[in-house]
Amino acid sequence: MSKVDIKLIQELREKTGLGMMDCKKALVENNGNVEKAIEDLRKKGAAVAAKRSDKSTSQGRVCSYIHPGDQIGVLVEINCETDFVARTEAVEQFAKDIAMHIAAFKPLAVSPDEVDQKLIDKEKEVITAQLAESGKPANIIEKILEGRIDKFLAEICLLKQPFMKNDKITVEEELKQIIAKTGENVKIRRFARYQVGE
């Protein structure tokens, strides 16, 4: 299939945020099937991200976002390999989107390995007590506990949260798409969220 309907290209662009040529190529390779093209683009994004993951990210940008009403503010640091990529529209837009996402979803950490172990232990205590009170046997409690902790971490960790602009993917998957788009290792280094009265 060499010709693809422009409407399909537009639909794929809206769903992925990628450029016209990348979307057209993916649709041609997948005979106009949008869902298969999305899957293909995700795999390619993950592959590029894996290849670039050991590259140093000493450049980047800090982005700020103040929510209308001036009650919530966010600062987020995005790192990449070169100053050139840090100044691209793709990275600038990604940084703004992430700052807005943080304002709305209130994550506590970038990734699960950054979560304070004391917080995890406290959550485990609460869940274990709830399950024990319901009369569940110890071996069942252990299995349920693991799943509940994974769910808890997914709720409080930025990379694991459903992405605000497309809740069919996580922030981590959106990050992989930016890595694929820029061809560089890109990281969400850290953030600070401020809310009046908190």
175 class by beta-carbon count within 10 Å (0-12 exposed, 13-18 middle, 19+ buried): buried
pLDDT tops 80 at residue 57: no
CA distance 99 to 23: 26
Q: Span 40-55, mean pLDDT?
A: 62
For the chain, the straight-line distance linking the first and the last C-alpha, in angstroms and rounded, comes to 56
Confidence of residue 52 (pLDDT cuts 50, 70, 90): low
What are the CA-CA distances from residue 49 to residues 25, 118, 134, 184, 194 (Å)? 20, 31, 44, 8, 31
Residue with the larger pLDDT of the pair 69 and 16: 69
Residue 46 has pLDDT above 60, yes or no: no
Using CA atoms, how far apart are residues 138 and 141, in angstroms rounded to an integer?
5
Beta bridge partners of 190: 77
What confidence score (pLDDT) does residue 48 get?
Answer: 57
Give the closest residue to 76 by CA, choosing from 49, 56, 96: 96
Q: Average pLDDT, stretch 157-182?
A: 91
Superfamily of domain 59-110+157-195: Elongation factor Ts, dimerisation domain (3.30.479.20)
Specify the CATH superfamily of domain 6-52. Answer: Ubiquitin-associated (UBA) domain (1.10.8.10)
Long-range CB contact pairs, 36-40, < 8 A, 24+: 37/12, 38/12
Residue with tokens 């919530």, as numbered in its chain: 72
